[in-house]
Amino acid sequence: MLKLGINIDHVATLREARYRGRTCGEPSPVTAAQVCEAAGAHGITAHLREDRRHILDRDIWALRQVVKTRLNLEMANTPEIVALALKLKPEIVCIVPERRQEVTTEGGLDVVAAEKSLAETCKKMNDAGIEVSLFIAPDEAQIDASARTGSQFIELHTGRFAEHFQGPEKGEVELQRLIAGAKQAHALGLQVNAGHGLNCENLTTLFRVPHLVELNIGHSLISRAVFSGLENAVKEMLAVMDDYR
């Protein structure tokens, strides 16, 4: 069964638009996580950025208390966040690149350039009973390097696929890159997740990618929830995903 992990960062973004710097505010990403789990989500993803632009420390600690499925902490590979993750003990961390000027994570890790430090972080996490995923583009060299770090998962960055989905030629090229990347990772013993820019429209095409374990989806679900309600948005996504074989 293909699993759905829901990224709740954009709920916090909406809260921070009005309540930045305050100790309370709405909407609550913690409540959103509970609604998503009640609707059938298999996990909750939250990115604690270094600049704390949306998810805050109090959110991540509250999520650790209430999440009953699987807490996935997206994080940069920095000493402060690594130390926090080791105390928090989520079920899994997804290490992502982080740039202060970006609105959301717009690219994959350069694992080749950072292999040594990533391997050290993977060992620390694994020794603490925490699985590790690396957020990467479907690039052969990056996948090979990811396998050498000791990570259990990669998360394929589907942003370029989503961006070019409406253009048949370029979209097919990006899809084939994802297919090849998933096959390569699987052969190397890595489990394969995917995420970025996925929605109900492009998801069924992505189903041509083999070996997928989990999709991490946030923006399209929160956007859809504006009109249909978060619970309905989650159930709609799960219904589309049921066809993956």
Active-site positions read: 47, 74, 196
Token pair 């925490």 in the structure block, residue: 130
CA distances from 134 to 38, 109, 140 (A): 28, 7, 14
Token pair 């109900």 in the structure block, residue: 200
Q: CA quadruple 112, 205, 10, 68: dihedral positive or negative?
A: negative
Sorted by sequence, the CB contacts under 8 Å of residue 191 that are 6+ apart come out as 152, 153, 154, 185, 211, 213
Q: In this structure, are strands 191-195 and 212-217 parallel, antiparallel, or unpaired?
A: parallel
How far is the C-alpha of 22 from the C-alpha of 152, rounded, in Å? 38
The one-letter amino acid code at 105 reads: T
Token pair 């789990």 in the structure block, residue: 37
Of 58, 65, 52, 138, residue with least CA distance to 98: 52
Of 35, 31, 38, 36, residue with least CA distance to 5: 36
Count Cα atoms within 13 angstroms, Cβ side, for 109.
Answer: 27
